[in-house]
Each structure stands twice: as structure tokens, then as C-alpha cells.
Amino acid sequence: MKSKTKSYKVSIIGAGGWGTALAMTLNDNGHKIKIWTYEKHVAKEINDKHTNSTFLSGVVIPEKVEATSNLKDLSDSELIVLAIPTPHIRGVLKSLTITNIKNKLVLNVAKGIEKKTLMRVSEIVTDVLNTKPQNYIILTGPSHAEEVSRKQPTAVVAACEDIANAKEIQSIFMTNYFRIYTTDDVTGCEIGGSLKNVIAIAAGIIDGLNLGDNTKAALITRGLAEITRLGVAIGANAMTFSGLSGLGDLFVTCNSKLSRNRYVGEQIGLGKNIETIQKNMEMVAEGISTTESAYFLAKKHRVELPIIEQMYNILFKRKKPLKAIQDLMTRQSKREWWW
């Protein structure tokens, strides 16, 4: 399917699996793609061999996709795509020298909350670039890079305060294998995409402990209730969490063998410590740092998040997973409130 809009000069900041997969999708729609990576050897491999064995092995990257490790090469960008882990976004944005950047569309595909500031990516972007909130879009939903790069049917959602800009992103990215819906609930999409990674680590712990389907079903259901509760407290639309950026993303991340966050939890359930797990991973599992941010964000807004609190205790206070589960199961009985 060809693009329904003009051909854009798109700069993708981050050559991880997702950034690479999106470069391939945009190329299918006739856009000019330049992908930036911190790792010089990754840029060289993309340019010379048209592969990315470090972050997305087993696929051939179109020859027209150009890679660089120099941020100055992105100066003529018309659309900026942020595809790097949340902790690095502020630093990279400060280093950009893109002409008239504050008036350009910035699309984020990262899922996390900044530590200490507790800012969502939309808030980081407007803080650093002084852009209008209407120029920020988030693309999120159940979308493993491995599957998108192989053109397996995927549906996601683009969220922007200005629905016209969300529709523009829809037109730029949408193909016959990559379907995009639109919404104006940026807050809901950011909270859903971020916190589902925390619940996915918990799901992995359940897998590692071999506790079964009942336990995981309870976790996903009550985890979604906690995500919704915090989102609504911040100003999100509760219905957003029943959609692709909420339930959809939560389901796939909690159950898929491709999920890095679920993998982290599984390793914890098998008895490994978090430092060893992270040391042996090439890519970042955003749920680890998001757990800490979500814990303090909940405190700030006085929202009760029992599962996320226990995940914070497991990851940062060395609490035993079985003890955390026992404490969750023996909490005071209550009526089932959704948020």
C-alpha cells in the first residue's frame, strides 16, 4: 500500500528493534528514512549489509534506509520519531540541531516515565524542545518489532491532542499489514503503554514460578484496574484502557515469549537477581525503571496500586516474589472496583 500523504524525510532516533521495524514500514510507504543509532557498528552494518543483527536479526532492511551515528545528519528532518528508551530521551533531544524543530511533528514510540521528574514523554518533549503539545504524537499498542518487520498483521493507535496530526501519522505509517487507529487521549495511551511493562514483569514472575493460568488471569485483570486507576487520576479517559494501548498491549506483553519485560520477570521467578538479568540483556526492559517511577507517581497522586507497589518491593527492596504474592492475596477483602 502506498502512502496517502506526501513523501516525508523521517529521522528515526534509535536503531533498536522497534526503530528498525518502523524504518522498514515507512520505506514501504515511500518515505525517505534516516535512522540514528548511538552504536557506530550498528549504523555500519545497516548501511553495508542491510541487516541489524544486534537488535533485529533475521530480516533484510531495504537498501534505501540510511543509518548514521551523527545527530547532525538529521538536520533536514520533517518528522522526528523517538525510538530510544525513555531515560535517554532528554539527553538526545538536547543534542538535536534540527531546523525549526519546535514546529515539527515529534512521534514517540517509547513506553516509560522519566525517573525523578516523573514526566511522561510528552512532557519531556515539550519541556526540552518548547514544542506545542499539539505537535506531539504517541504511537503505541500491541506491536512486537519482530512481527511487524515480517509484515504480520498488527494494529496500534496514534494519540495526539490535535486529532488532525494523529490522522496525519495514520496516513504516513498505515499499510496493509500495519493498521493504525486514532485518539486524542495522549495521557491514557502513555500511561497504558508504560505501566503494562510493570505488570508484564509480574506476569513473567508467575511464569518463572509456574503458578498457572488462574494466577496470571487475576494479575492481568487487576493489573489493568491499577493502570486505569492511575490514568484516570491523572486525567485520562477510562475507556482508553479497554483499547489497543491498554488491554491490547497488556495482553501481548504479559503473554508473549518476545516480551523483554516478561522475560525479566521469568528470570526473577527462576531465582536470578535483577543485576545479572540486566547485564545479560542487549536491549532495555523499560518496565524496570518504570516500576520505580510508577510507584512514586502513585504516591504523588495518592492512588493505591498494590501490584505495582509489590513489584517495586521485589525489584528495589529485594522482597521475595512468593512473599509479595502472599501479601497481595491476603489483603483486606473488598468489592471489585474497576478504578
Work out the pLDDT band at 6, boundaries 50, 70, 90. confident
C-alpha pair distances (Å), 259 with each of 106, 131, 145, 198, 326? 26, 32, 10, 12, 25
Answer whether residue 4 shows pLDDT above 80. Answer: no
In whole angstroms, what is the distance from residue 168 CA to residue 180 CA? 11
* Average of per-residue pLDDT across 187-199: 98
Cell, residue 28: 514501504
Question: Which of 167, 184, 201 finishes a domain?
Answer: 184
The tens digit of pLDDT for each residue in 72-97 reads: 999 999 999 999 999 999 999 999 98
CATH of the domain at 237: 1.10.1040.10
In whole angstroms, what is the distance from residue 199 CA to residue 202 CA? 5
In whole angstroms, what is the distance from residue 68 CA to residue 126 CA? 25
Work out the pLDDT band at 339, boundaries 50, 70, 90. low
Per cent of the chain over pLDDT 70 is 98
Centre a 10 Å sphere on the Cβ of residue 272 and count the other Cβ atoms it contains.
Answer: 14
Question: Which of 184, 203, 225 finishes a domain?
Answer: 184
196 carries an active-site annotation = yes
In whole angstroms, what is the distance from residue 116 CA to residue 32 CA? 37
Amino acid 2: pLDDT: 45
Options 9, 32, 116, 196, the catalytic residue? 196
In whole angstroms, what is the distance from residue 155 CA to residue 75 CA? 31
The tens digit of pLDDT for each residue in 45-55 reads: 999 999 999 99
Whether residues 175 and 230 share a domain: the answer is no
- Structural domain of 105: 9-184
Q: What is the average pLDDT score of the chain?
A: 95
The tens digit of pLDDT for each residue in 225-279 reads: 999 999 999 999 999 999 999 999 999 999 999 999 999 999 999 999 998 998 8
Centre a 10 Å sphere on the Cβ of residue 48 and count the other Cβ atoms it contains.
Answer: 9
Question: Which of 184, 209, 240 finishes a domain?
Answer: 184
In whole angstroms, what is the distance from residue 193 CA to residue 111 CA? 5
Answer whether residue 3 shows pLDDT above 50. Answer: no
- Which residues have C-beta within 8 Å of that of residue 35, sequence separation ≥ 6? 11, 12, 14, 15, 19, 20, 23, 46, 65, 66, 67, 68
The tens digit of pLDDT for each residue in 299-309 reads: 999 999 999 99
- Is 339 domain-assigned? no
